[in-house]
Structure 1
């Protein structure tokens, strides 16, 4: 009886050992499958990177700017046509006076097509700059443009007072005023309002360019905020070209051409029609007070 019991106990022990071995083999097989799966994923990832190259983040924090996109630029002939006949007279003479370029340079303000039609005058005054004939001017901005009149006045006064500006000739000076008698007004207006004001004088600005009418320099908001691709400088320089070109007409200057390849384009050149070998330039004079002149254009 005892022997029978021993045999049964031996068989049970052997069966237990076999069961444990089977369980170990199953666990080992499972580990091998997992390792093979990880290795396959590593290989697949390597192949994907090899094909696609490094991945770059394209989330909402992209540094690329959309400013100015979707803004149509007129052809050079179309813009230039609005500036013909500027001559030396302050009478209606549209002038796309190519103005500096947009951004990195472009403004963060949005270009609106229509404003309120009402203008607010900058409550800003300054002392005379330059000598000789001092012309008083005010700066006005149309409602709905998003441009603070005081900011525009400060920038325009800085242009007219710059040593590279018209005061360098020793004959012309300017004074910013907010009230009282004035010789001219600089108005920043939406494209629709520019078309209305300039159109009343028979000028066709087509929502794109500036004009010079009577005692008004009408600056197109679109040009003020986006500049022109023809001018590769900062937006402030493009704005300076608008002001210098238009005010140049007011003090008796006509259009000028390129004086030669590689030389600065005159401020009175219709740079929007092309530079013709000249370098883009916003100022009538250089740092040494030399007038940047070109041949007269009929």
Structure 2
């Protein structure tokens, strides 16, 4: 009887140890399986989060530091509304007005989103020409429109907006001396780039201009448009967003054509297009155009 009892106890201890070993083996298999599945899940999530995003379409791309072929008769730099060393008189010196990539093209006709990418790729896509001919009469200035990759902004609507500005009778073509023709290859004396705030700061900063992630600039033959301003406008400009975009282009191209800064001519009067309106209207009414519909130049006192 004593022997049988001892045998039962030994068998019980053996079964207990076997159960413990089996439990340990199951835990080991779970750990190994988890180690295999978790990286796979991470890879899948990575593919979903970091997959390819659209950035606009165009005929070609160029690096942000590239220069357009010389050809502009006014090659000086200007960066509007930024703190910079500025010359006096027309065309002199320099003047100056988180990466939530949605991957969706932006419809320029819609109310702008306040979520604007701060960072971009640093490379640009050139817009295909919207028209085959030129806007205006007189000396034809060939220009390109480029959009930075990573902005979510399609090139064609941006180029169409710029083309409409040049064609508007209140714009720089009013005098009949200057015409503008969009190209996507060959020589261009004027390049209009729309870029994220960080890229604007880098491009403008290379010319000694402090755009602070907020404003636009012109460096030589290149007008650099801040995506934030293009998409959200300015708190100082109470007109439609399309009008503020026209002010950006008219102001910077005005510098390229040789015009200097002007200020408010008097309370209640239209602010000149060459006024730094983002700094305040000084009693004037916001205005995007250098000329009236009747062809009168909207000027104000010249300022440095």
Q: TM-score when scaled to structure 2?
A: 0.66
Name the counterpart of 1:118: 123
- Give the direction of change, closer, same or farther, for the CA distance of 1:128–1:90 in structure 2 (3 Å limit): farther
Deviations 1:114-146 (A, max 9, x none): 001110000125311212221110100000101
Cα distance change on mapping 1:109 and 1:136 into 2, 3 Å: farther
Kindly tell me: are residues 279 and 243 of structure 1, through their superposed partners in 2, closer, same or farther at Cα, counting changes over 3 Å? same
Alignment of 1:16-165 (within 5 A): 79=81, 81-82=83-84, 84-85=86-87, 87-89=89-91, 93-96=94-97, 106-108=111-113, 110-126=115-131, 127-165=133-171
Taking a change above 3 Å as real, the CA distance of residues 106 and 86 of structure 1, as seen in their structure-2 partners, is farther
Pair 1:86–1:267, CA change in 2 (3 A) = farther
CA RMSD of aligned residues (A): 2.2
2:196 to 180, 185, 190: 190
Q: 1:148 to 1:105 in 2, by over 3 A?
A: closer
Q: 1:105 to 1:253 in 2, by over 3 A?
A: farther
Q: Using CA pairs under 8 Å that are at least 6 residues apart, name the structure with larger relative contact order, 1 or 2.
A: 1
1:274 aligns with 2:280: yes
How far the C-alpha of 1:89 sits from its partner, in A, is 2.2
Superposed CA offset, 1:132-184 (max 9, x none): 22111010000010100111000011011101101111211111111111111
Conserved 8 A contact 2:143-2:182: yes
Structure 2 distance, partners of 1:286, 1:197, is 33
Q: Distance in 2 between matches of 1:247 and 1:86?
A: 17
- Given that 1:122 and 1:150 are in contact with CA atoms closer than 8 Å, whether structure 2 keeps it comes out as yes
Higher helix share: 1
The runs of 5 or more residues in structure 1 that have no matched partner are 1-77, 97-102
Q: Report if the CA contact (8 A) 1:86-1:95 is conserved.
A: no
> Could you tell me how far apart the structure 1 residues matched to 2:232 and 2:85 are?
19
Matched, 1:262 2:268: yes
Residues 149 and 86 of structure 1: CA distance in aligned 2, closer, same or farther (over 3 Å): farther
Q: Give 5+ residue unaligned stretches, structure 2.
A: 1-79, 98-107
Which structure is larger by alpha-carbon Rg, 1 or 2? 1
Q: Tell me if structure 2 keeps the 8 A contact 1:124–1:178.
A: yes
1:83–1:291 CA distance, 2 compared to 1 (3 A): farther
